[in-house]
Every structure is written in C-alpha cells, then in structure tokens.
Structure 1
C-alpha cells in the first residue's frame, strides 16, 4: 500500500483536475515529469518496462485459465492455477489448483489466502449496509475455519 502523503496528494489533485475521474494514462503523463512525486513509481527504461509488462501479461494469462470439473449439476469452472501467498515471496510462481487442493498444507494456505481476500473485500465495502448479511455470513465462516 502507498501511504506517502505527497503521492496521495498528487493523485487527488490529478483526480480533481480531471473532473473526479482519473485515468491511468493521466497518471503516467503526470509522472513523466522527473519532479513529480509519482515519477519514481514507474520504470522509465523502455526495455525493462517492456519485459516487466510481458511478465505481467503472463501473470494475467495464468490467472484467467479455467477448466471444467465435476459431473452433472456439480460441473463448474475452476481456476487451473493458483498463486499462494507463500509462493509470492519464495518462488514467485503458480501451482495447479488440483495439486494445492490435494496437499493438506497447501490447501490450508489457500484457505488462509481466501479468508485474507474476504477481509480485504470487507474493508473495501464495509460502508455498504446492503452487504451486512454477507458480512455476517463471512463472520460465521471465519469462526468455523479458525476453530
């Protein structure tokens, strides 16, 4: 997360200058100025940036691969690959979802990651009273998982 007040102030200023709807292209344009607090948040070497972008595209590809599993009414699409938190810091890779679900420790990590994502969702949308029932159900599931 970025908490740098100069960066946040610059982004808020850009947002106001653009009628309250800030586009990524506008952020990049403002960041081109070496004096901008945003400048150091970007890779300006085009060769390095191109390679980083291709790696990001590969991540995106791995995230959207799905396959059909199950039979009859239980048949559904499931992700082919998963990126566990532990893998993000150690090997920075993806595992097949099937292999994760069949390993007790990896499955526990996947569950922990899922609960963390649900908590992020909750923090992001906690002001929406319409989701109160969903959050109550989430609390019940969290208590079961921890017990």
Structure 2
C-alpha cells in the first residue's frame, strides 16, 4: 500500500529515478533515468525550485548536457515532427455528433487512436468500436491509461476515495483485452 502525500513539515527525499511506463524518446536518446533525473533536479535547484521546458531545452542545447540526446537538433526534422504533433492534436480535438431517430444526440470523439504495431493510425470512433480487433485495442489503451493515472496519483490523499472506487469497480468489470 502506498503512503499518500499530504502537506506536511516532514522532508521527503528522492531515493532514485526511473522512466514512467510507456515513456517514449527519440531514437538515440541515452536512456539513463538516474542521470536524467539527477540533472533535472540540479536544474530545478539552480532555478530556485522551478523547472520549465524552456530551461530544459536551453540546457540541452549544450552538446555536453546529458539531456542533449533527447532532442532533435536538425530544425527541418524537428519542424516536421512538430507539425505531426499538431496534426495529432487536431485529429484528437474533433468531436462528432451522432444522431439516431430513437435517441438523443451524442457527442463523442470523432476519431480514436489505433496503436497497431508498425501501423498506428486513427479510425472513426463508431467504426473502430464496432470491430472486435480495434475495439480490443481501444479498450486496452483505455485500461492502460486508467492504470497509469491511478499509479500517477495514488499517493495523493485527496484522490484516495477515487482510487478505492477504481479498485472496487475493476473487480466488477469483465476482463478487458490486455488487462492483467
């Protein structure tokens, strides 16, 4: 059982660093979480307890920085990657209004991400959820996101009731594809 973090006078110390489950980095990044965590902590202390993306990028520009390999420094490649990120955001932002004669209109995301190995793409939501294979992929992704959220916030006592409700609900759910 985890200890919930609450405002306290007792100092909390960092014992080490790891990368989160599912963390993705550009190819060639030196994936040493201890080094990265220690360097980010050094930057945070250097900037009076606050860490911003701008400070991280400024530090990483130096080729000797342990963060340098995590960034794309070829501006044409980085610009294209940024446009692809914007396109993903655009696709995720579209909401469809589904109507049927016998029910009120329903608003939902128009497209869902289908993370098939080597062929990640988006599909129209109702189509994706009507097919067993893609529905299982969507359910598995939702399950993984729920579990990641649960792990991320499990130590906040303000969410303890919600965490308990998730745990109780999980016991009643039918087995979801990929659920352990």
Structure 2 alignment gaps of length 5 or more: 1-22, 24-30
Tell me by how many angstroms 1:92 deviates.
2.1
- Given that 1:43 and 1:49 are in contact with CA atoms closer than 8 Å, whether structure 2 keeps it comes out as yes
CA change 1:78–1:131 in 2 (3 A) is same
Q: Structure 1 residue 64 and structure 2 residue 93: aligned?
A: yes
Aligned equivalent of 1:80, options 106, 110, 124? 110
TM-score computed with the length of structure 1 as normaliser: 0.86
State the Cα deviation string for residues 32-58 of structure 1 (Å, max 9, x = none): 100000111111111111111111111
SS at match of 1:51: helix
Structure number with higher relative contact order (C-alpha < 8 Å, ≥ 6 residues apart):
2
CA change 1:67–1:83 in 2 (3 A) is same
Q: Which residue of 2 aligns with 1:104?
A: 132
CA separation in 2, counterparts of 1:21 and 1:125? Answer: 21
Q: Which residue of 2 aligns with 1:39?
A: 68
Length, aligned pairs only? 145
Tell me by how many angstroms 1:142 deviates.
2.4
Query: Root-mean-square deviation (CA), in Å?
Result: 2.2
CA separation in 2, counterparts of 1:73 and 1:140? Answer: 31
Q: Structure 1 residue 17 and structure 2 residue 51: aligned?
A: no
CA separation in 1, counterparts of 2:87 and 2:119? Answer: 15
Q: Structure 1 residue 127 and structure 2 residue 155: aligned?
A: yes
CA change 1:43–1:119 in 2 (3 A) is same
CA change 1:74–1:119 in 2 (3 A) is farther
Hey, which of these two has a bigger chunk of helix by percent? 1
Q: Structure 1 residue 136 and structure 2 residue 136: aligned?
A: no
Q: Which residue of 1 aligns with 2:12?
A: none
